[in-house]
Amino acid sequence: MSPILGDINRRDFIKYTAMTAAALGLSQIDVMNKVSEAMAASSSDKPPVIWLEGQDCAGCTTSFASTLNPPAASIILDTISLRYHETIMAASGHKSEQALHHTVKEGGYVLLVEGSIPLADGRFCMIAGRPFEEIVLECAKNAAAIIAVGACATYGGVPAAGPTGSVGVREVVKNKPIINISTCPVHPDHLVGTIVYYLTTGKVPPLDKEGRPLMYFGESIHDNCRRHAYFEEGKLLQDWNDPEQKNWCLIDKGCKGPVTYADCSVRRWNDGLNFCIDCGAGCRGCAEPIFYAGMSPLYSDPTGKAEELKKEAKIREAKRKELNTGKEVK
């Protein structure tokens, strides 16, 4: 392994272990040992990975490719053996298909699927002359693990609201466990973290009832939101131009934090630079199986949950005021 890039690679993976340790229920040292073992083995025998793209926009690919910690280049070249990925691989046409068939025959690879699968008619997504559904089924057969990447591949996402009968992998591959990493696009930490978890333990991480890793999708956006105190006080942003309202709760702009389970409020996006709520737009609920159709209209309250929570908060706020006034009287 190269001295410079090799070191970056190892260091970043060790950083990752800190995040994974808690989820594994192991001490960080144990995990570090495991990762080191995996890394040592990896230089000669890297785990094979197939990444399929169906009815996708390549957003999950670009999300993954823009991960800086660890750098995507070191994952692609040092950590995994990326056998097939239409947007990245050197080969085209029959050369790329050869690589796919060869890997499927060998078996034991990690299968990543990006994009939904059209069931209305196979001809809505054809690759190398074959319907995408057929390709997914074939690749699923010999896969060691299957990860559905992003909203479209997990639950159908945006295309599911359209005319092509688009569904996620779990509707097509029925006889194997599917790890669902939702959000539109996938969060690179969620994807890389899940792959590291699998490679270091050989196990599927604990999942919620929708097949999502609990370590990333266990808690509500709303409960962990930095704007939650404003929500409680009833300070709800109405005008994006008012600097005073800048950090207020976005529930009146259709924030879906109250009905969405993911760790964006804590993890944020793009190395902590910004994210949906910090930028004043609000959560659009992209981690949930009902996204997109069930979250629309995106800028109002289709589930009625917001109104309900606002009413409860008002009662709490009134009680607090009452208590405070009570104290003053004493």
DSSP letter string, 12-49 = HHHHHHHHHHHHHTS-HHHHHHHHHHHHHHHTTSPPEE
**Please, which residue, 50 or 251, has the CB nearer to ligand SF4?**
251
Q: Is 149 in the site for ligand SF4 (CB under 6 A)?
A: no
144 binds, among ligand SF4, another protein, none (CB under 5 to 8 A by kind): none
* Cβ neighbours, 10 Å, residue 68: 10
Is 199 buried (19+), middle (13-18) or exposed (0-12) by CB count in 10 A?
Answer: buried
Structure tokens at 48: 């094979």
State the Cα–Cα distance between residues 180 and 178, nearest whole angstrom. 6
Residue given tokens 């295309």 in the structure block: 159
Applying CB under 6 A, does 298 fall inside the site for ligand SF4?
no
Q: Which is nearer to another protein, 17 or 116 (CB)?
A: 116
Q: Is 139 a catalytic residue?
A: no
Of positions 23, 264, 298, 313, contacts ligand SF4 by CB under 6 A: 264
As a whole number of angstroms, the distance between CA 101 and CA 25 comes to 38
Catalytic residue at 279? no
Q: Give me the catalytic one of 85, 139, 187, 283.
A: 283
CB of 204 to ligand SF4, least distance (A): 22
Q: Which one from 85, 187, 190, 264 is the annotated catalytic residue? A: 264
Closest approach, Cβ 295 to ligand SF4, in A, equals: 9
Nearer to ligand SF4, 64 or 109 (CB): 64
Q: Binding to ligand SF4 by residue 310, rule CB under 6 A?
A: no
CB-based contacts of 17: which residues, under 8 Å, 6+ apart?
Answer: 28, 31, 32, 35, 196, 200
Q: Does 34 bind ligand SF4 (CB under 6 A)?
A: no
User: What is the residue type of 92?
Assistant: S
Tell me the two tokens of residue 155: 């639950």
Phi, then psi, of 96 in degrees rounded to 5: -70, -35
- Residue facing ligand SF4 at closest CB distance: 257
> Min. distance of Cβ 321 from another protein in angstroms?
29
Query: Which one of 145, 283, 298, 313 is in contact with ligand SF4 (CB under 6 A)?
Result: 283
Rg (CA), the chain: 22
**Site for ligand SF4 contains 186 (CB under 6 A):** no
Select the residue interacting with ligand SF4 from 60, 178, 195, 262 (CB under 6 A): 262
* Closest listed residue to residue 97, CA positions, set 124, 127, 77, 125: 127
CA distance 226 to 242: 19
Q: How far apart are CA 81 and CA 49, in angstroms?
A: 6
Backbone angles phi, psi at 202, to 5 degrees: 75, 10
227 interacts with ligand SF4 by CB under 6 A: yes
Say which entry of another protein, ligand SF4, none residue 44 contacts (CB below 5 to 8 A, set by partner kind).
another protein
Q: Does 191 contact ligand SF4 by CB under 6 A?
A: no
Check residue 212 for interaction with ligand SF4 (CB under 6 A): no
Instruction: Quote the least distance from Cβ 54 to ligand SF4, whole Å.
Output: 21
Active site residues: 57, 60, 152, 184, 222, 225, 249, 255, 264, 276, 283, 286
- Chain contacts with ligand SF4 (rule: CB under 6 A): 183, 221-222, 225, 227-228, 231, 249-251, 255, 257-258, 260, 262, 264, 275-277, 282-287
